[in-house]
Amino acid sequence: MKQEQQDAQTDVTEVAPDVLRMELPISMPGLGHVNCYALLDNEGATLMDPGLPGPDTEEALRQRLSQAGLQETDVHTVVITHSHPDHFGCANWLAEQGGARIVAYEGFGWGIGFGSHDHQHDHEVSVDDLRAQSDAIRSPESEETLEERWQRRRERVTPWGGTPIGLSLEGRESKVAQMMSSGKYFPVISDPVKDGDVLKIGGREWFVRFTPGHTSDHFCLHSPELEILLSGDHVLPSITPHIAGTGAHADPLKLYMGALDQVAALDHVNRVLPAHGNPFVNLAERTEAIKRHHIERLDLTKQIGTELGAATVEDFSQRLFPERSWGMMAESETYAHLEHLRHAREAESHTGDDGKLRYLIR
């Protein structure tokens, strides 16, 4: 079992001076916990990535905070690394309890982009890939009800003509998806940040490092003083983060690889605190391993393409991934790799009479 898949431990551990690791339980594909970090100061605490929405996480968070001698009302700031529900779920609850401000990247959003073929530039949230549908907020320009928007959202198809975006891997809504449809868990961002901004939290300066790819709004925090990178889902210790093809950027894989190089080049990083799995060292070594994985996946995609000829994203994905992984997530990442090859002029694509994209390796 990969360490990111391990169940949440109830112990609260100090992983750096005044930085506590609190593991919160989640149930998502390939994940068993999310690390919520508490950065302590004289006014209370900043929490980074406060888990999934709902009363179960709220209770787990109360218990973890109590071990640290804190209450939810002591949380004055919430930092969200990116727009997946296991990272922002309890943000609004903490704001309601103690008036916490909510910090996220300035491009934080919940719409699903349609990739380069449709030239849309909605914010990417592959929360659909993680079985959470977050586009069910009432539009200020529309009289749609949440339920109507939810239904329309479920029926939208992918840019490659695959499984409707709104369906989970099992073809049914999950508990998290049902909660997200109410709209009440979507965080109200009070303090948007951008690349290069400096946050004064936990009594120290933390630099915002924009790291898109996993989502279009992902960022990390870097403390040169502590020589720590809070990496969110950008760099994980033993699994490769999912790269969704449904984002705003035409080539999310290229964007992600570039962001890996940027964090690897940071000075004064001796330890990485990820959102899943255990703290680790050797950041540059880990980023190179992740890049190698994607380069190998690109080579395999080209090999499959020479065998299949013109083929759909689903055809490619079912050769790239084992059967247990078939579905939206596999297709989304396959699409990201095929689009990378298309932009590199190593593949071409066309839309068939059935509305599905087909890729031909050059």
Domain boundaries, the chain: 3-107+184-284
**Model pLDDT for residues 299-355, shown as the tens digit of each residue:** 999 999 999 999 999 999 999 999 988 888 899 999 999 999 999 999 999 999 999
Residue bearing tokens 């073929």? 117
For the domain bounded by 3-107+184-284, which CATH number is listed? 3.60.15.10
pTM of the model: 0.87
213 phi/psi in degrees, rounded to 5: 140, -60
What is the identity of the amino acid at 268?
A: H
What is the identity of the amino acid at 301?
A: T
pLDDT in the model for residue 47 = 98
The answer to whether the beta carbons of residues 136 and 85 sit under 8 Å apart is no
Distance CA(44)–CA(226), nearest Å, equals: 19
Kindly state the helix (H) or strand (E) to which residue 311 belongs, with its residue range.
Answer: strand 311-312
**Model pLDDT for residues 30-57, shown as the tens digit of each residue:** 899 999 999 999 999 999 999 999 999 9
Distance CA(19)–CA(304), nearest Å, equals: 46
pLDDT in the model for residue 245 = 87
The answer to whether the beta carbons of residues 1 and 30 sit under 8 Å apart is no
pLDDT in the model for residue 27 = 78
Distance CA(358)–CA(104), nearest Å, equals: 37
Q: Which two tokens stand for residue 91?
A: 């943000």
Find the distance separating the first CA and the last CA of the chain, reported in whole Å: 38
pLDDT in the model for residue 170 = 44
CA distances from 152 to 108, 110, 161, 354 (A): 22, 15, 16, 21
